[in-house]
Amino acid sequence: MNDLEMYREQLAMCDDRIIDALEERNSIIEKIMAYKERYGLTILQPGQEEKQERRRQERLKGNQYQREIEDVFLRIIKNSKRIQARHLFDYNIVLIGFMGAGKTTISDYLSTMFAMEVVEMDQVISEREGMSIPDIFATYGEEYFRNKETQLLMEMQGHKNVVISCGGGAALRKENVAEMKKNGRVVLLTASPETIYERVKDSTDRPVLNGNNNVGYITDLMEKRREKYEAAADVVIRTDGKTVLQICEELITKLTEEA
C-alpha cells in the first residue's frame, strides 16, 4: 500500500468514526428529550445551549480548522433541533389570533429553537401575488385574499413540523379552519386590546383597521372574532406580560398534553 492509499484508508476510517459519533449524539438527544418529559423538565433551555456553545468555542480556540469545524457544528446542531421537533410534533403548528397577538414573534422563536420551517401566510401570498396585502385587498377584494389563504392551507397538508403563522382573519373562515386541522394543531394567541394596540399602533400594513387604529375599535373587532377564534383553537395562550420563552414553554406543554 502506497502513502496515498494509506491516507485514503485513514480518511474512510475517520468517516466511519464520525458516523458512529453522530449516531451516538442523536441517540443522546432522544434520551435527553425523554428524560425531560419523564421528569417534567422544561423543554426549552437556552441557557444550556449557551453553555455548550461556550465550551465548544473554548475547545476550538486556536484550532487551524476552527471555521470549518464550526460550520459543521452549525449543521449538526440544526439537525439535533429537528430531531427534537420530530419527537415533540408529528404535525404542523398553526398559530392564529388577532393582529399583534404575537404570531410572528412566536413562530420565529420556534424556528430558532427547533429549526422548524415557518410559513408566514401573509408574506407567502404577498410574494406570490407580487403586491402588498393592502394592495391585494384594494385590487381584488377580501374574498380573493381568503381564497388564497385556503389554497395555501391545503398545500400545507402534505407537510409536518411546519409552523404556520396565519393572518388575523384566516380562522374566521370555516373552510380555513377545516384545512388547518387536517394536519395541524391550532394554537390561539391572544392579548388584551390595550396590548394589541401598543403592538400595532405604528403599523401601516393592517388593512382591516382601515384608519381605525385605536383601542375602542380593536376591542369591538376582537369581541366580534372571539367566538370563532376560540372555536377553531385546540389550545389558547395569553401573551400579555410574558417573555417569548415563557409563551413557547406554555405552548409546548399544552400541545403535548393535548396529544
Give per-residue pLDDT as tens, 12-67.
999 999 999 999 999 999 999 999 988 888 888 888 889 999 999 999 999 999 99
Could you tell me which residues come within 8 angstroms of residue 100 by beta carbon, excluding any fewer than 6 positions away? 191, 195, 196, 197, 199, 200, 203
**Mean pLDDT computed over 176-201:** 92
- What's 125-175 look like in SS3? HHHHHCCCHHHHHHHHCHHHHHHHHHHHHHHHHHCCCEEEECCCCHHHCHH
Give per-residue pLDDT as tens, 75-104.
999 999 999 998 899 899 999 999 889 999
Residue 202 has pLDDT above 80, yes or no: no
Residue 185 has pLDDT above 90, yes or no: yes
For position 106, what pLDDT does the model report? 96
Residue 183 DSSP code: S
Q: If we measure between CA atoms, which residue out of 238, 240, 234 comes closest to residue 254?
A: 234
Give per-residue pLDDT as tens, 129-171.
999 988 999 999 989 999 999 999 999 988 989 999 998 889 9
Prediction pTM value: 0.88
Q: Report helix, strand or coil for 3.
A: helix
Could you tell me which residues come within 8 angstroms of residue 188 by beta carbon, excluding any fewer than 6 positions away? 96, 97, 171, 229, 230, 232, 233, 235, 236, 237
C-alpha cell at 88: 415533540
For position 114, what pLDDT does the model report? 93
For position 162, what pLDDT does the model report? 95
Residue 1 has pLDDT above 80, yes or no: no
For strands 235-238 and 162-165, give the pairing.
unpaired
- Sheet arrangement for strand 184-190: 117-120, 162-165, 92-96, 184-190, 235-238
Q: If we measure between CA atoms, which residue out of 234, 232, 115, 94 comes closest to residue 157?
A: 94
For strands 92-96 and 162-165, give the pairing.
parallel
Task: Indicate the pLDDT class of residue 204, thresholds 50, 70 and 90.
Answer: low
Averaged confidence pLDDT in the chain: 91
In the block, cell 394589541 appears at: 196
Does residue 50 contact residue 77 with C-beta atoms inside 8 Å?
no
